[in-house]
Structure 1
């Protein structure tokens, strides 16, 4: 819980002490912990016991509750210090087995934790999972990122806003992998006859043609930044808004005052010049319209009218795609 919802490293969690998350007089809860990996003294020597972080971690309510529970169990000292690093991963596997067994016993097979295709679930993977959600779920779990003052929130704070290490490197890698996957999927779809529409349709087609260059090549932060800093290739899939953002800062309506290195995918504006849609997005628009109309049929009249109006706008956007879609052969 603490690792996944804060992005802390396992060693940093082990260094948390009782009282690390005091009740705030106002505002958010903050976790005051130590940093170990980059801890050095004035002479540049490594400090094995760690040093207090310059910027505290921002804690949301589930994390605060978890810390309060452990504080009741541990009278003083390190909250998680009694758990050896070598035993943390096996304990996670035992918990997964216990939870899945309980789900089967209670006849709730849908709550069984499935086997992980990438191997055992270790504590070091929680931070990577958090970065994955921030990079690929705009408007959904990405909303959690607003709570975290230590990381780039919703990809909007820019690539030079804070120190280039730790969770920021993971965010760069996961964002670049998401962009590369979007380019590969678009390239394959266009080759199979998928049409694309929108003000940025031709820019998206151009970017997709470079997809093979990045297949399997993004494995470290330097390679990730090489892709993210190329303005002609940054195509972001936005499943929540049912569109793609072919990002150009000077045309972005999600940043009205200042230009940013990355879009605010949780603030997509339908009239933006960076938008492109495929046949798949048009299908999603119609599915969402049907869902809204079904909700409207069972909603009070004012809300029902708003839901129907929203459904109508979505259908119009899908129809506009059908009228203006461009197949790949028309661009050659």
Structure 2
């Protein structure tokens, strides 16, 4: 849509949306990096995400205070961006060298979330919310398969594959319970 009628106007609508997205991501990162009660991130890039958040927290804290000023937060994110991108099913710990969403000819600065392959990408980290979204998706797949007597064989097969891949991913990346 941005490349169509909205992206060609001189109003700057696209820039405004991108600025708001960047601010929301910055606030999310600031909240995550300073939340001492937050469970550790899991997944293929969970440890790397934790290290990036710790470094971001070190940069975002000043004289014992957390950054709340939007201008200062934007400046800190621009200077010390941990390249973590929250999503519904995963948090992307963006590393362009191993990103499955990136094409060789495409820009390498940010992930292409529309082309995300969360179950296969090594940039994936899981928050508690991401895990819950995947579990809800798994439950919806179970519901579709349970009542799917009328499903075409190919559709049933694809849903079964997706269910197996999702369940396997969750099993592989379930954090160990802490005693």
Q: Same fold (TM over 0.5)?
A: yes
Which of residues 28, 42, 50 in structure 2 aligns to 1:205? Answer: 50
In structure 2, distance between residues paired with 1:247 and 1:148: 30
Cα distance between partner residues in 1 of 2:122 and 2:96? 10
- For residue 317 of structure 1, report the CA deviation from its aligned partner: 1.2
Structure 2 unaligned regions, length at least 5: none
Structure 1 residue 182: deviation in Å? 2.8
Residue 134 (structure 2) aligns with: 285
| Alignment map for 1:170-189 (pairs within 5 Å) | 170-187=16-33
TM-score computed with the length of structure 2 as normaliser:
0.73
| Higher alpha-carbon Rg | 1
**How many equivalent pairs are there?**
165
Partner of 1:160: none
Among 7, 25, 32, the residue aligned to 1:150: 7
Query: How far has the Cα of 1:179 moved from its partner?
Result: 1.8
Shift of residue 262, structure 1, vs aligned partner: 1.4
**CA separation of 1:301/1:172 partners in 2, compared to 1, >3 Å: closer, same or farther?**
closer
Superimposed CA distance per residue, residues 179-237 of structure 1 (whole angstroms, 9 cap, x where no aligned partner): 22332343356x225132223222311232324447323348xx636624645x12111
Q: Which residue of 2 aligns with 1:294?
A: 143
Kept in 1, the 8 Å contact 2:6–2:14? The answer is: no
Q: Which residue of 2 aligns with 1:275?
A: 124
> Residue 176 of structure 1 contacts residue 225 of structure 1 at CA under 8 Å; is this kept in 2?
no
> What corresponds to 1:306 in structure 2?
158
TM-score between both structures, scaled by the size of structure 1: 0.42
User: SS in structure 1 opposite 2:126?
Assistant: strand
Classify 1:283/1:217 alpha carbon distance in 2 versus 1 (closer, same or farther; 3 Å).
same
1:321 pairs with one of 155, 173, 177: 173
Aligned to 2:109: 261
Q: Contact 1:176–1:228 (CA<8 Å) still a contact in 2?
A: no
Please tell me whether the aligned partners of residues 177 and 224 of structure 1 are also in contact (alpha carbons under 8 angstroms).
yes
* Distance in 2 between residues matched to 1:183 and 1:309, nearest whole Å: 34
Which residue of 1 is the match for residue 87 of structure 2? 238
Partner of 1:227: 77
Gap change, CA 1:219 and 1:204, over 3 Å in 2: same
Relative to 1, partners in 2 of residues 1:225 and 1:185: Cα closer, same or farther, differing over 3 Å? closer
Q: Does 1:248 align with 2:95?
A: yes
CA contact (8 A) 2:86 2:92 kept: yes
User: Deviation digits for residues 263-292 of structure 1, max 9, x if unmatched?
Assistant: 111111233232111233222212111111
